[in-house]
Amino acid sequence: MILKNLGQVDYAQTFASMRDFTDQRGPQTPDELWICEHPPTYTQGLAGKAGHLLNPAGIPVVQSNRGGQVTYHGPGQVVAYPLIDLRRAGYFVREYVYRLESAVIQTLAEFGITGHRVGGAPGIYVRLKDPQSHAALSGPVDARDPFHGLGKIAALGIKVSRQCAYHGVALNVAMDLQPFAGINPCGYAGLATVDLATLGVQSDWPTVARRFGERLCAQLER
């Protein structure tokens, strides 16, 4: 897999480049992993409902063809776009999503944070009061508040075309979290969103981007 660090790039232009890469790739085209960050942007997935966009406050809203609802991208967030031939890699979409989430969990562990999966809600979550706890999430889920005590630290949304995947996963490092209040993050009203800085981790974007890229490359090997 070819790893490319793009730095800060416009979301709409990057989306177009990913789509063009996927449309034009052939059976022998090497997979690539693009690591970047975006200027402040809301992105709306294919299933996105307008009601989940509460108050954009001047932040651009871009329609996307990824799965999922509305999310926010901004400086201080590591965004990873694997451009991967799933058929050649030898796994299906469910395992692909699991591998992406595993890379997030492994990266968080390097900084002393325990990431958790929540059934039916792609992405990675942390305990707000005890983000270092290794105890698994347990007990019945309250349907009225399925994310009680949790904060979302990584969002995930992909698109698969001709068995090739693009879009990807975003990990919050040290960013202005206020724009998340302008949406129902990933379609969940009241869902708290956190970053590593909020959890007390003092690191910078290049360090987290490098480690996250390494974990993704390892997880996405054939």
pLDDT at residue number 195: 97
pLDDT category, 143, cuts 50, 70, 90? low
Q: Between residues 46 and 36, which one has the greater pLDDT? A: 36
pLDDT category, 190, cuts 50, 70, 90? confident
Give the dihedral sign, CA 140/152/220/12: positive
pLDDT category, 47, cuts 50, 70, 90? confident
Task: Please tell me the least confidently modeled range out of 43-52, 129-138, 179-188, 193-202.
Answer: 129-138
Q: What's the chain's average pLDDT?
A: 93
pLDDT at residue number 139: 60
Q: Where are the beta strands (DSSP E) in 50-207?
A: 61-63, 70-73, 77-85, 116-118, 121-127, 150-161, 164-172, 192-193
Dist CA 45 CA 138 (whole Å): 30
pLDDT at residue number 205: 97
One-letter amino acid at 96 equals Y
pLDDT at 115 over 90: yes
Total domains, the chain? 1
Active site residue 186: yes
How many C-beta atoms surround the C-beta of residue 57 within 10 A? 11
Backbone angles phi, psi at 71, to 5 degrees: -145, 175
How many C-beta atoms surround the C-beta of residue 34 within 10 A? 22
pLDDT at residue number 134: 81
DSSP assignment, residue 76? T
Dist CA 157 CA 45 (whole Å): 8
Name the nearest CA neighbour of 52 among 187, 222, 153, 204.
187
Task: Please tell me the least confidently modeled range out of 1-5, 67-71, 112-116, 150-154.
Answer: 67-71
Contact 77, 175 (CB under 8 A): yes
pLDDT at residue number 84: 97
Contact 126, 194 (CB under 8 A): yes
Dist CA 45 CA 105 (whole Å): 24
Residue range(s) defining the domain that contains residue 13: 2-219
Give the domain CATH number at 179.
3.30.930.10
How many C-beta atoms surround the C-beta of residue 149 within 10 A? 13
pLDDT at 114 over 90: yes
Query: Which residues does 103 contact at the CB level (< 8 Å), separation at least 6?
Result: 169, 212, 215, 216, 218, 219, 220
What is the per-residue pLDDT across 162-183, written as a single tens digit (0 to 9) for each? 999 999 999 999 999 999 999 9
pLDDT at residue number 187: 82
Dist CA 176 CA 195 (whole Å): 9
Dist CA 149 CA 192 (whole Å): 9
pLDDT category, 24, cuts 50, 70, 90? very high
- SS3 state of residue 77: strand
Tokens linked to 69: 């609802």
DSSP assignment, residue 67? S
| pTM across the whole model | 0.94
pLDDT at residue number 144: 66
pLDDT at residue number 142: 63
